[in-house]
């Protein structure tokens, strides 16, 4: 029985290297936000005579909810090796 020796070779060619990509949202700029007239309670008091007069306007509350998003979208990176790279065998 004869033994045959086979040489093992590895062929390598240039590659594109490292590719990085970012899809940062960045900054969001909002214009004027008007959440209403922001006027409290309107109270009219007519003529009064005698004794002390007390007027209570109650409580006033005004809520404004904002939903803001700065999504960056999709980032695509490509590290293609390109054409005409030389291959070598080692």
One digit per residue, pLDDT tens: the chain, 90 residues? 556 666 677 776 666 667 788 877 778 888 888 877 777 788 888 898 888 999 988 888 878 888 888 877 788 877 776 666 666 666
Task: Write down the pLDDT at residue 57.
Answer: 85
In DSSP terms, 12 is beta-bridged to: 88
Task: Write down the pLDDT at residue 67.
Answer: 86
H-helix segments, 33-75: none
Tokens describing residue 16: 């594109």
In DSSP terms, 11 is beta-bridged to: 89
- Closest listed residue to residue 30, CA positions, set 58, 67, 55, 71: 67
| Separation of alpha carbons 66 and 58, rounded Å | 27
Q: Give the predicted TM-score (pTM) of the model.
A: 0.34
């Amino acid at each position: 029985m004869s033994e045959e020796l086979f040489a093992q070779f590895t062929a390598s060619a240039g590659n594109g290297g490292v590719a990085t990509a970012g899809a940062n949202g960045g900054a969001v700029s909002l214009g004027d936000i008007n959440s209403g007239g922001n006027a409290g309670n309107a109270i009219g008091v007519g003529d009064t005579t005698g004794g002390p007069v007390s007027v209570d306007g109650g409580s006033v509350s005004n809520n404004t909810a904002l939903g803001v998003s700065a999504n960056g979208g999709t980032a695509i990176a490509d590290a293609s090796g390109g054409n005409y790279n030389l291959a070598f065998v080692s």
